[in-house]
Amino acid sequence: MRKLTYFIACSIDGFIGDPSGDAAMFHRFADEEFLAYLTAEYPETLATHGRRALGVDHLENRRFDTVVQGRASYDLAFKEGIASPYAHLRQYVASRTLVQSPDPHVEVISTDLLARVRALKSEGGEAGIYLCGGSRLAGELADEIDEIVVKTYPVVLHTGMPMFGSDFRITEFALDELRAFSNGVLVRTYRRK
């Protein structure tokens, strides 16, 4: 069974963006050391246009071959004229309002998200599935998430979009790895218990 990994950036107090979902305040932590780590360990999590700008578009995918993202996450690139933001991955956008995909390489999941993600997880192969935000999507798929990789930035937002937009419940995960960077960023990897 393939793993669904929620790979997410957040503040110290657990917000993935401001109340509107904007996470631009985290971009200033993308220094040389941290970008070297991301390109070495998680190159496929960088959007295609970002990979090209960094000169790392040639890197092979290491962990994931598929990305599932919410409509708001997808719209960040689409508003900039990028209809296929992760061209190096098989792309899915979960949306109840987007009826037709604006790009032939992006499939829209508009109904029965849980069944579609379970089908993706049951496919053969070693490569996993990258869950790329947002909050409501992670909340809907919380029971399917096998691993969480949290990039914690050294800021407190006080309010904003939580990591999981869902009702209260407790789900236990075990810490597998912790990496600290000189700019204050922590990357923690958890697996479902």
> Residues 64-119: pLDDT tens digits?
999 999 999 999 899 999 999 999 999 999 999 998 999 999 999 999 999 999 99
pLDDT recorded at residue 21: 87
Q: Is the dihedral of CA 128, 130, 136, 142 positive or negative?
A: positive
pLDDT recorded at residue 6: 98
* Residue 93 phi, psi (nearest 5): -120, 120
pLDDT recorded at residue 84: 97
Q: Is the dihedral of CA 83, 86, 91, 93 positive or negative?
A: negative
Strand partners, 151: 9, 187
Confirm if 77 and 47 have CB atoms less than 8 A apart: yes
pLDDT recorded at residue 133: 81
Which residues, including other chains, have CB under 8 Å from residue 38's CB and lie 6 or more apart?
A: 45, 46
Q: Considering only the top CATH level, what class is 4-192? A: alpha beta
Q: How far apart are CA 121 and CA 10, in angstroms?
A: 25
pLDDT bucket at 46, cuts 50 / 70 / 90:
very high
Order of strands across the sheet that contains 186-192: 106-109, 90-94, 64-70, 128-132, 4-11, 147-153, 186-192, 173-180
